[in-house]
């Protein structure tokens, strides 16, 4: 089956620094990737839709200048959390879709901002 | 934003019993999907049901969809301790296959 990887799996950073999270589709091309955020014991909240070669589409309430998304190729999308604060600590999950309806999810990245 | 609600929020059962989780949504959909998530881990896709389907089976899983009521249910039969996880429904409303997740049900299966 299709595999999506995320790197890093976990990261700890200091408040005010920026953190980049990578999402890769390993064995298929993904024209669209999605970024979700999940707080403890809560559901996944869609942050943005990332389209290869174009600007990301952000959901209402998500700051595009704080969460920078770059979809540079058909197999790679990156999410950069800029000037991170403790309230940005969360589990970030990406997914990628091929031509079918199914989404393939990455294993997630746990971000802790101290 | 979340598409809908799931109930119950938490469910605790004994091994061998059946577990039923319900999901309601608000808008028209192309399909509805169920996922499982073990604590602190990624999502595992369980089953997809299209808007023109009413019921679907996969092993011990049975999913129903009632588009008139905008609701779906997931039944896990003969549950096992390994089924302990959070279960989420997600709706695809069309357009880039974007998924909107429900609040989820935390299932605990006790040996």
pLDDT digits (tens, 9 = 90+) for A12-47: 999 999 999 999 999 888 888 999 999 988 999 999
Whether B1 has a pLDDT exceeding 70, the answer reads no
Cβ–Cβ contact B4 with A under 8 A: no
Sign of the CA dihedral with A109 first, then A112, B1, and B3 last: positive
**A15 three-class SS:** coil
Q: What is the largest distance, in Å, between two alpha-carbon atoms of chain A?
A: 40
Q: What is the residue whose two structure tokens read 């998500």?
A: A62
* Distance, C-alpha A60 to centroid of its chain: 16
Quickly count: other Cβ atoms within 10 Å of residue B26's Cβ.
14
B109's tokens: 């299966």
- Give the separation between CA A30 and CA A4, rounded to whole angstroms: 10
Residues 20-79 of B with CB under 8 A from A: 30-31, 33, 35, 40-43, 45, 48, 50
**A105·B103 Cβ contact <8 A:** no
Nearest in space to A46 (alpha carbons), one of A56, A58, A54: A58
Distant-in-sequence, close-in-space partners of B104: CB < 8 Å, separation ≥ 6: A42, A43, B6, B9, B37, B86, B87, B88
Q: Which tens digit of pLDDT belongs to each residue from A40-94?
A: 889 999 999 988 888 899 999 999 999 999 988 889 999 999 999 999 999 999 9
Distance from CA of A70 to the nearest CA of B (A): 17
Q: What is the residue whose two structure tokens read 């980049």?
A: A20
Quickly count: other Cβ atoms within 10 Å of residue A66's Cβ.
14
pLDDT for the residue A101: 60
- The percent of residues above 70 in pLDDT, for chain B, comes to 95
pLDDT for the residue A31: 80
Q: Which residues of A touch B43 (CB under 8 A)?
A: 44, 93, 95, 105
**B43·A32 Cβ contact <8 A:** no
Q: Which tens digit of pLDDT belongs to each residue from B7-42?
A: 899 999 999 999 999 999 998 999 999 999 998 788
Distance from CA of B48 to the nearest CA of A (A): 8
């Amino acid at each position: 089956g299709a595999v999506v990887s995320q790197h890093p799996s976990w990261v700890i950073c200091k408040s005010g620094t920026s953190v980049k999270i990578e999402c890769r589709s390993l064995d298929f091309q993904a024209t669209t990737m999605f970024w979700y955020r999940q707080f403890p014991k809560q559901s996944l909240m869609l942050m943005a839709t990332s389209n290869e070669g174009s600007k990301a589409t952000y959901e209402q309430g998500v700051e595009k200048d704080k969460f920078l998304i770059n979809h540079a190729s058909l197999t790679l999308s990156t999410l950069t959390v800029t000037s991170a604060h403790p309230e940005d600590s969360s589990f970030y999950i990406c997914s990628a879709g091929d031509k079918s309806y199914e989404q393939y999810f990455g294993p997630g990245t746990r971000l802790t901002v101290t | 934003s979340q598409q809908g609600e799931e109930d119950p929020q938490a469910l605790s059962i004994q091994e061998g019993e059946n577990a039923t989780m319900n999901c309601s949504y608000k808008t028209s959909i192309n399909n509805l999907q169920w996922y499982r998530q073990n604590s602190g881990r990624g999502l595992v896709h369980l089953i997809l049901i299209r808007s023109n389907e009413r019921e679907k089976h996969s092993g011990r899983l049975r999913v129903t969809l009632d588009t008139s009521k905008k609701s779906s249910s997931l039944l896990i039969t003969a549950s096992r301790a390994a089924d302990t996880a959070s279960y989420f429904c997600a709706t695809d409303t069309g357009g880039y296959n974007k998924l909107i997740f429900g609040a989820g049900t935390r299932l605990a299966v006790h040996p």
